[in-house]
Amino acid sequence: MDFLLKASLEQQMPIEIMYVSERNVISRRTISVIRMDAHYIHAYCFTRKQKRTFKRGNILSAAKIKQRKGAQYA
């Protein structure tokens, strides 16, 4: 998972994560990592259309996005 987070940061590549909130709500997010530290991922969330901070420990999984032809992320 760290490999994909670093790749998103370095290549400005969107990835998809499964995330569990502090209220135990699981969501699927499409993000592009802006900054990382030991405990947090700072990213642009395409799902919420704003910058968000995610706790590393709450990220359940990360995956590359299978982009459809012509699909783009801003």
| Residue extents of the structural domains in the chain | 2-64
DSSP codes, 47-62: TTTEEEEEEGGGEEEE
pLDDT digits (tens, 9 = 90+) for 27-67: 999 999 999 999 999 999 999 999 999 999 999 999 999 86
Residue 71 is predicted with a pLDDT of 57
Residue 1 is predicted with a pLDDT of 86
Q: What angle do CA 55, 63, 56 make, to 5 degrees?
A: 10
* pTM of structure: 0.84
pLDDT digits (tens, 9 = 90+) for 7-31: 999 999 999 999 999 999 999 999 9
Task: Give all strands of the β-sheet with 59-64 in edge-to-edge order.
Answer: 50-55, 40-45, 26-36, 15-20, 59-64
Fold of 2-64: SH3 type barrels. (2.30.30)
Q: Is 55 in contact with 40 (CB distance < 8 Å)?
A: yes
Measured between alpha carbons, how far is 26 from 12 in angstroms, rounded to an integer? 24
